[in-house]
Structure 1
Amino acid sequence: MKHIWTIVLFLITASLLAGCDQDSASPAPAAESSARTEAGEHAEHEGDEDAEDGHEEEAARVELTPQQVADAGIEVVEAGPAHIRETLPIYGVITPNATAVRQVTARYPGAIRSIAKDFGDAVRQGETLATVESNESLQVYNVTAPLSGVVTARDANPGEQTDERVLFTVADLSTVWVELSVFPRDAGKVRLDQAVRIRGADAGASADGRVIWVAPFGSSANQTLTVRVLLDNAERRWAPGLYVTAEVTLAETDVPLAVRNDALQTMEEETVVFVAEEGGFEPRAVQLGRSDSETTEIVAGLAAGDLYVANNSFILKAELGKGEAEHGH
């Protein structure tokens, strides 16, 4: 009997030991499963980061067809050296060139028989403006234009006596004057033959001229000195009477690398220039140097010979922003 109890106790002890070994071994699969989960999450996280990097890389380029570039008016030019100007801004008004204005009178007093040209009409030198019948000879003669230009005034009607008054004023507007008003504090900065850039109300209208006269006396009405600039007007872009702004060039500095101001855009608090690369346009961060109203020096971020977008670069910025918004969703 004692032998039987010994066997029973041995079996119970062995069973308990086996249960303990099974309990201590069971966490291993759970640990393995946890490790697999963490590895999967890490791989998924890396995948997300790769996807984000891929989106950022894709978003940093704007792809347009040649036709889209042409339709958008995007102009691509080569970066290179330029002149940076120090200028004096002044306001002024367009006036006729007084040396190319003629007042027309009748050669002999008489009655005006006909009028051939009216105010605003273009005329050629020698062309008939009116006909007059002389009071003494009763002969009819022509009153002709002394130069080619435009009729800017008319004081003549059929049946009137010519007397000694001015019948017509004809002005050659192929050149015009720009009368600039300079304050006394700036008078010392302006001198004869200085280069001047004239800009009209239309942002695209500009022309270059030179100072031909500086008034030796001032105007009591507005306390300014008049500076006169001669401007070519062969295309009749500058109509007398219109107000303009001017930039008198005080000094010029040569810089090795510059871009047009219209090329500069701000993205994420950085100044960028869109550079033409194979397959599209990419924004490139740049560091700026000296600048004037048209051009800015580039000291880093761009190289001479790089092709950049000089006009309508804001369209590319808008396209880039649109792409980033789509990726955000």
Structure 2
Amino acid sequence: MTDLESSLQISGNLAPQTRVEIRAKLPGTLSRINVDIGDRVRAGQVLATIDRREIDAQVDAASASVNVAIAGVEAAEAGLANATLEQERAKNLFERGALPKQRLDAADTARRSTAAQRDLAQANLAQAQAALRRASEIQRDATLTSPVNGVVVERHFDAGSLVGPGDEPVVVIADVRVMKLEAGVSELEAGRLRVGMPARVTAQALPGKTFEGRLAAIAPEIDARNRHFKIEVRMSNPDSALLSGMYGEAAIPLQQASQVLAVPRDAVTTRDGKRVALRIDNDTIQPVPVTEGLTDGVVTEIASGLQAGDTIVSDARQDVATGTKVNAVLAR
């Protein structure tokens, strides 16, 4: 009697859950690159810098234009305030009969003109500020930073290299604290899976080590090319033992049974359309119909047909006739 677990076995290459390509957003020459393959980086850390001398000059010019525009607005507002005061004086004098209508109209016209000049100055200021914001954005784009904590897994350029938006990434950052294993499963298998199921992950390169993971995602749509659903298992990798590209296997438990009668998987075969085991009675082989239960791929549960203590042929695939006399020996 033994405890038995039926599980879904999947395999594939391990990859970081998060992998970010850092590309140049503008053309230029790399003045500095601060990291190399294998370096650990923090979110916000400066990875590389594009030569900013011309960009800095553009920012300085845009900033100066903003200052000029601010001065223009201040002058226009002062002129408007003075024109408004003159208009009020002209209106008071006109109402007392001390000023002709022509002079009042001239004061009104002067005020409207200075108001238009103030509006134009404000528009010029808004335009200059927009140009400064754009220049500042370009200036920021000249500094390449990491958006995540992780490890540099690729570096494609050195200081002095010309880079641009259409080029390959300057560096690639991977967060290896959480790894993933992706695989395809059949419709029948997908129907037995649920997000959150536990998974045990092993890697060929790390014999004897098991990593606890979870089924993180099941694709809602089947891949028409192979009739498989894509699934993703994620596992913690706190000591960075798992590396990107390692071949991994994951076992997702589906069913469990305690203290059941189990035999080697190959001890059950099909004869005359029935599943049978070859039991040895009085040193003679007798096919016995059996009902199978769970299997873990190595042993199979026998729900009926055999009893504990029965002696059977460990490999029923052998062409052995019913009634054949044998000497039973313990299988190794």
TM-score (norm. length: structure 2): 0.47
Q: Which has the higher contact order (CA 8 A, sep 6+)?
A: 2
TM-score (norm. length: structure 1): 0.47
Structure number with larger C-alpha Rg: 1
